[in-house]
Structures are given as C-alpha cells and as structure tokens.
Amino acid sequence: MTSVFLTRRALLNGGAFLGMSALLAACGQQAATASAAPSETASASAAASDAASASATPSPVITRGYSGGSKAPDGEYRKADEHGPAQNVPLPKAKPQQYPETFAGLREMMRDWIKARNYGIQTGDMQYVRPYMLDTFKSDIEFLNSIEKLYKEGGWVIEGTSEYQAESDLMYDEEAKEYWVLIRRLWTYGLYIHPNGKMRKRANTGNENETFMFRYRYKDGYWYLSEYRSNEELRKQGFIQ
C-alpha cells in the first residue's frame, strides 16, 4: 500500500481515497463481526493479550506457510492471507533522511515513517521504523513491539496497515520546543493470527477515536515523532468536538 501524508485540501480534492474502496469492501466481507475501531493503545493490548479471545473449544495450532499457498517469485509482492504473512514486501528507506524544518519536510519524513511502519506490520521487522520514534512515543512503540512478538511466536497480521492524514496546519509549541499537527489515522481492518489458532479481529467501522495530536522534535536536520495525544485528551482540551 502506498504511504501518504495528506493535507485536508488534498482530501477534499477527491483523490485521497482512490484505492480505499476495495479495502473497505474487504473489511465488510472479512471482519463484519469485528468491534469498532480501537485506539492504537487498544490495538496493542488486543494484539498482545491471549485472554481476550480465548475460546472454550481448543483451537488448532496454525503452521505459518506462504500467502497465496506458495512461495512467491522474487520481487513479486503478495499480501498476507490465511496461509501466511505478506511476501516480498518492498523495503522502506534504510534509515531516516534529513529534511528541512518545514511542513513539506515533515510530510516527507512521515511518508518514510508510514512506509517503515507498514513494512513492520507486514513482516514483524521493526528495525526500520524504530529510529523515527523517540522513547516518549510510547503507545505506538508498545503496539509495534506486540506485533514483533506475534511474528516471533509464529503468527502474522492480515491487512492492519494504516495511512495518516493531516487535519491541521503545522504548529509550534514554544514552551515545549516541539511542533504538532492534528492527525487522522486511516485504516480498514486487521486480523491478528496466532500460532495456537486464535485470531483477533479489529475493524474501523466509524473512525471513532482516530484523531490524534502528533508531536515532533526537530534536531540536526531530522524530524522525530515524540508523542501523541488521544482523541479523548484532544476533546477535553477543546481541539476537537
């Protein structure tokens, strides 16, 4: 999936959701019984906790194989499915790049981060996404750690990737020496497949709790994600209704 960091103007131009309709249709077909969209923190908890979907009937042990039922030829990207994780996922940039201290520079960094994050969700390899996030970006780090653990145990994720859309201009907090932007997370659904046969379903049915304040630090030519504040926090502070 192509990673994009969009302004509200780009969204209103109508091109932002090209390609999203197919995913939404798939969401309806494959995750019709899933709960409403969680926050990133809730997603992390759901992915990490076995107790949430324990069944009274023992579940079969799943052997991770190849998506599509066979090994894909070199260079052929194949999405994850019930047979196994995605294959030949395009690599993100090897390391963060230097960009100017402007909104345009921030958008470039976000494109890189989103691609690295989505790569990690599809492969369990988080080495490319971690350098973009300071330790204070805790909730997403915890979520990505839980996905990494899932893959190491033999599980994988079907869909589950996200895009992010800017909902405000770039603002500067003089006291904190940080920038911030209101961000909406765009996603459809995620299926978390565990090797013991358990499967967790999460679907974004109404965009609930999907607006965040992303905060950034800029140092030595690099943008870093430092924090995000939840929908609930933003409502209390009057940023959103």
Mean pLDDT confidence for 42-68: 61
Nearest one of 184, 190, 189, 187 to 230, comparing CA atoms: 184
* Domain annotation covers residue 233: no
With a cut of 50, say whether residue 1 has pLDDT above it: no
For residue 28, name the pLDDT band (cuts at 50, 70, 90): very low
Place of tokens 């069944």: 55
In a domain, 172, yes or no: no
Domain total of the chain: 1
Range of the domain at 127: 5-161+190-208
Distance CA 103, CA 183 (A): 13
Residue 134 lies in a domain: yes
Per-residue pLDDT, averaged over 60-79, amounts to 93
Mean pLDDT (whole number) for 64-73:
95
Across the range 152-166, mean pLDDT stands at: 96
Kindly state whether residue 156 falls inside one of the protein's structural domains.
yes
In a domain, 108, yes or no: yes
Question: Is the per-residue pLDDT at 153 higher than 80?
Answer: yes
State pTM to two decimals: 0.77
Report the distance separating Cα 224 and Cα 110, nearest Å: 9
Query: pLDDT, tens digit, for every residue of 187-238?
Result: 989 999 999 989 999 888 765 557 889 999 999 999 999 998 877 777 777 7
